[in-house]
């Protein structure tokens, strides 16, 4: 059956130089693979009913590509590696040795070099990832073009798993409400460095090469150097959390940001549908974002549940129910109950405020002039129009953040 699909694709115009080497599973819909200037090179595999390949795209030029339920937008080149449940919005490039997994969204013109691992990662337009990088559980924005872009230097790691065995560690470079306007200062994360999640970094910031960043830097335009530790050996505390406010609040900001992005994907992205392929692509972006929100709430819940054990251990040591550490444990656990209610309500909220309505109308009018080109449309908005959009998304975030921070 897979050879029948290969033959069908060849007949519709897909270039497959070595068809005997290409595997396409029975559940792949050939109507979701464009016949317009698409090339599938030797050794590639495509599986999964969600898989989508739009025009002017290439798979496997440098090494075989495995594509599983991944959506590939126009003018995208996936040069080699494994891609599952990811979305590429268009004009993307990804080098060989890729390992890209669930919940990943690369928006227009974001790209990566060779040997990069991503999962639950959202890159806004223009963001560039170097080589030999692990950058899971992150959102990164910033920059105005491919010549003025946020970048992650080679051999960079986002540390997203803790000794207490949780992943309440998402890091946000920039933010959603300003980042979507594609006019913010770029962020640069220096090579052979890392972030210990969860952290937040402001627009225009640079982290020096070799630095390991453990704290937020919310001021814009800063040079950040991560200090080295002295050589010490001290007793380890098992299952105890000591920096609860930092972890809790950064998770609140991250989830609130994703939920505001959901409103953008719901009300703005559909304005750029121009055919069935683009409709399927935007639908895929929405589904992947929902996947990201669900994952972050799940990981946040696990962290908050672990606070019960952390509190018990501290009580055995301190014998003091009113110590600062115990009180912050209690506050976080109480706030999480409220957070669950608020997040669920906001995820299902279909309402849009006046700033949002005005902004959607402005974008819709612009698409008539720009031919539904996403980047061109957003960057052509007047400053007052952009401010309405920023305020719309900021209000969505703040409605959650103001109630939940500890």
- Sign, Cα dihedral of 234, 236, 240, 241: positive
Residue 167 pLDDT exceeds 80: yes
The 10s digit of each residue's pLDDT in 222-246 is 999 987 788 999 898 899 999 999 9
Q: Which two tokens stand for residue 86?
A: 């990811």
Identify the band that residue 2 occupies on the pLDDT scale cut at 50, 70 and 90.
low
Residue bearing tokens 């402005």: 362
User: Is residue 137 a part of any domain in this protein?
Assistant: yes
Residues of the chain with pLDDT > 90, as a percent, come to 93
The CATH code of the domain that includes 97 is: 2.160.10.10
CA angle 346, 349, 354 (to 5 degrees): 105
pLDDT at position 1 is 52
Distance from C-alpha of 214 to C-alpha of 106, rounded to nearest angstrom: 25
User: Is residue 233 a part of any domain in this protein?
Assistant: no
User: Is residue 235 a part of any domain in this protein?
Assistant: no
pLDDT at position 363 is 98
| Whether residue 248 sits in one domain with residue 204 | no
| Whether residue 166 sits in one domain with residue 33 | yes
Average pLDDT over residues 84-100: 98
Q: Range of 73's domain?
A: 5-224
Mean pLDDT over each residue of the chain, to the nearest integer: 96
- Number of Cβ within a 10 Å radius of residue 75: 18
Distance from C-alpha of 366 to C-alpha of 381, rounded to nearest angstrom: 7
Q: 3-class DSSP state for residue 228?
A: coil
Give the C-alpha distances (Å, rounded to integers) separating 81 from 24, 64, 100, 285, 401: 16, 6, 8, 21, 38
The 10s digit of each residue's pLDDT in 257-305 is 999 999 999 999 999 999 999 999 999 999 999 999 999 999 999 999 9
The 10s digit of each residue's pLDDT in 348-394 is 988 899 999 999 999 999 999 998 999 999 999 999 999 999 999 99
DSSP state of 217: B
pLDDT at position 323 is 87
pTM for the complete prediction?
0.96
Residues of the chain with pLDDT > 70, as a percent, come to 100
Give the C-alpha distances (Å, rounded to integers) separating 145 from 139, 148, 150, 191, 196: 18, 5, 9, 21, 28
Residue 396 pLDDT exceeds 90: yes
| Whether residue 263 sits in one domain with residue 168 | no
Of the candidates 293, 268, 291, 269, the one whose C-alpha atom is nearest the C-alpha of residue 279 is: 269
User: Is residue 145 a part of any domain in this protein?
Assistant: yes
Asked whether 86 and 66 are in contact (CB, 8 A), the reply is: no
DSSP state of 318: H
Q: 3-class DSSP state for residue 47?
A: strand
| Whether residue 213 sits in one domain with residue 252 | no
Distance from C-alpha of 214 to C-alpha of 227, rounded to nearest angstrom: 9
Q: Which two tokens stand for residue 301?
A: 């819940």
The 10s digit of each residue's pLDDT in 15-27 is 999 999 999 999 9
How many domains in the chain? 2
Average pLDDT over residues 395-399: 97
The 10s digit of each residue's pLDDT in 118-138 is 999 999 999 999 999 999 999
């Amino acid at each position: 059956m897979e050879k029948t699909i290969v033959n069908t694709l060849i007949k519709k115009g897909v270039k497959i130089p070595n068809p005997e080497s290409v595997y396409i599973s029975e559940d792949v819909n050939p109507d979701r693979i464009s016949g317009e200037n698409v090339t599938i090179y030797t050794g590639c595999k495509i599986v999964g009913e969600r898989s989508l390949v739009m025009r002017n795209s290439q798979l496997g030029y440098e090494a075989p590509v495995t594509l599983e339920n991944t959506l590939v937008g126009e003018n995208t080149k996936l040069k080699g590696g494994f891609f599952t449940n990811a979305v590429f919005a268009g004009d993307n490039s990804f080098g060989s040795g890729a390992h890209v997994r669930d919940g990943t969204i690369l928006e227009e013109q974001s790209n990566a070099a060779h040997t990069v691992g991503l999962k639950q990662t959202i890159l806004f337009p223009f963001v560039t990832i170097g080589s030999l990088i692990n950058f899971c559980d992150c959102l990164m924005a910033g920059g105005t073009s491919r010549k003025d872009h946020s970048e992650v230097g080679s051999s960079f790691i986002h540390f997203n798993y803790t000794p207490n065995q949780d992943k309440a560690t998402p890091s946000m470079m920039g933010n959603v409400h300003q980042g979507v306007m594609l006019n913010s200062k770029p962020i640069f994360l220096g090579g052979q460095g890392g972030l210990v999640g969860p952290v937040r970094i402001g627009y225009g910031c640079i982290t020096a090469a070799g630095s390991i960043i453990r704290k937020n830097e919310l001021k814009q335009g800063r040079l950040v150097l991560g200090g080295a530790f002295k050589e010490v050996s001290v007793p380890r505390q098992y299952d105890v959390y000591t920096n609860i406010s930092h972890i809790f609040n950064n998770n609140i900001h991250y989830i609130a940001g994703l939920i505001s992005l959901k409103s953008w994907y719901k009300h703005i992205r559909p304005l750029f549908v121009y055919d069935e392929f683009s409709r399927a692509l935007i639908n895929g972006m929405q589904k992947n974002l929902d996947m990201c929100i669900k994952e972050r709430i799940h990981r946040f819940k696990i962290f908050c549940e672990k606070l019960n054990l952390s509190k018990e251990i501290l009580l055995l040591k301190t014998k003091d129910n009113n110590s600062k550490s115990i009180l912050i444990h209690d506050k976080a656990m109480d706030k999480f109950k409220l957070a669950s209610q608020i997040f669920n309500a906001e995820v299902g909220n279909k309402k849009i405020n006046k700033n949002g309505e005005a902004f959607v109308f402005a974008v819709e009018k612009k698409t008539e002039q720009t031919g539904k080109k996403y980047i061109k449309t957003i960057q052509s908005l007047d400053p007052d129009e952009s401010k309405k959009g920023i305020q719309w998304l900021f209000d969505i975030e703040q409605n959650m953040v103001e109630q939940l921070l500890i």
